[in-house]
């Protein structure tokens, strides 16, 4: 089993944008692999600015032996995009994904993604229109896979969700999407999150984060880890006070990965959030370091 411990850099968004700063903190935590986040370098910045910041980032990563595995949308880009109800708007947003691919290639990542296709509440209540939008998104992902391959990327990603309106919140829909993208130019893979549990049907397997990992570990290059429970995707740090309230236990996560039969590298990317408010604002560095120390009991360097 090939499991690495790292960060989703949305932990650092808004606070540590400078390449020197976030790589210093990553290195201080003893981490060598990260998932880049487009909140750190926005793919909507002018190309020359992206190139300069990407070069700074690559230099800082090389000097501290940090590898960017892949890249992902963050707080700023948790939008409908390919699930937008307007067809013309969705076609325009497809160009955003090409910009994501371009920036990922500049950073040396393997692949990129964000949510599959977030729909609106009216669309969610209209099964026929929803099916049309999902089909439209799949067509777009086929085109994007070809584009990403030309940029040297190895896979596309999307994140499974906890609510059907945001799509891919059920095993059935994920199975359908993966099957319909099986012939894409590069593989479509999953980003799992232990906090993304579909609680709409009590007792269903989708309520269990371990069931998600057992079922999709073989097609997931990374899993977002956070301390949380069935009451919500809290993004708590792994401190004693939160471990008592949460239900994420490293042994169980690793057991689920083993049960999945995954034989590729899987990044367990810590995804912890802190409010910009006293005292949370001032605890982030200590909480990140303590969370990594906690997980290092099970995942050695």
| Tens of pLDDT, residues 79-89 | 999 999 999 99
Q: Calculate the alpha carbon distances from 170 to 212, 216, 219, 228 in Å.
A: 10, 12, 16, 20
Mean pLDDT of 74-98: 94
Q: Does any domain span residue 74?
A: yes
Q: Does any domain span residue 43?
A: yes
Q: Does any domain span residue 301?
A: no
C-beta atoms surrounding 193 within 10 Å: 24
Mean pLDDT of 222-246: 96
**What CATH number does the domain containing 133 carry?**
3.20.20.150
Q: Does any domain span residue 300?
A: no
Strand partners, 190: 158
Residue 195 belongs to domain spanning = 2-295
- pLDDT of 74 > 90? The answer is no
Average pLDDT over the chain reads: 97
What pLDDT score was predicted for residue 97?
97
Q: Which pair of tokens denotes residue 88? A: 């013309």
- pLDDT of 301 > 80? The answer is no
- pLDDT of 68 > 80? The answer is yes
Contact call for residues 123 and 129 (beta carbons, < 8 A) = yes
Q: Which pair of tokens denotes residue 132? A: 């049309």
32-63 residue pLDDT tens: 999 999 999 999 999 999 999 999 999 999 99
What is the rounded distance in angstroms from the CA atom of residue 90 to the CA atom of residue 239?
41
Q: Which pair of tokens denotes residue 61? A: 């990563």
Q: Does any domain span residue 55?
A: yes
pTM score > 0.85 for this model? yes
What pLDDT score was predicted for residue 78?
86
Q: How confident is the model at residue 151 (pLDDT cuts 50, 70, 90)?
A: very high
169-193 residue pLDDT tens: 999 999 999 999 999 999 999 999 9
Number of domains in the chain: 1
């Amino acid at each position: 089993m090939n499991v690495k411990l790292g960060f989703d850099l949305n932990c650092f968004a808004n606070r540590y944008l400078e390449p020197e700063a976030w790589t210093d903190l990553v290195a201080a935590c003893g981490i060598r692999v990260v998932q880049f986040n487009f909140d750190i370098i926005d793919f909507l910045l002018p190309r020359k600015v992206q190139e300069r910041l990407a070069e700074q980032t690559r230099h800082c990563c090389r000097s501290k032996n940090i590898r960017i595995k892949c890249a992902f949308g963050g707080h700023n880009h948790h939008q409908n995009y390919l699930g937008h109800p307007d067809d013309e708007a969705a076609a325009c947003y497809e160009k955003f994904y090409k910009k994501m691919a371009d920036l990922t290639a500049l950073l040396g990542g393997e692949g990129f993604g964000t949510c599959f296709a977030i729909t609106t509440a009216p669309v969610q209540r209209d099964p026929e229109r929803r099916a049309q939008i999902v089909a439209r998104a799949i067509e777009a992902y086929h085109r994007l896979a070809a584009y990403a391959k030309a940029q040297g990327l190895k896979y596309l990603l999307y994140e499974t969700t906890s609510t059907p309106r945001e799509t891919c919140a059920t095993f059935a829909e994920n199975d359908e999407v993966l099957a319909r993208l099986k012939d894409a130019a590069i593989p479509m893979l999953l980003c799992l999150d232990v906090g993304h549990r579909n609680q709409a049907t009590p007792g269903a397997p989708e309520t269990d984060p371990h069931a998600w990992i057992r079922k999709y570990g073989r097609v997931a290059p990374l899993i977002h880890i956070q301390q949380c429970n069935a009451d919500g995707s809290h993004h708590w740090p792994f401190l004693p006070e939160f471990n008592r309230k949460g239900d994420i236990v490293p042994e169980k996560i690793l057991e689920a990965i083993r049960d999945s039969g995954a034989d590729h590298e899987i990044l367990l990317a810590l995804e912890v959030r802190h409010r910009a408010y006293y005292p949370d604002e001032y605890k982030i560095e200590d909480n990140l370091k303590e969370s990594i120390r906690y997980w290092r009991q099970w995942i050695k360097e």
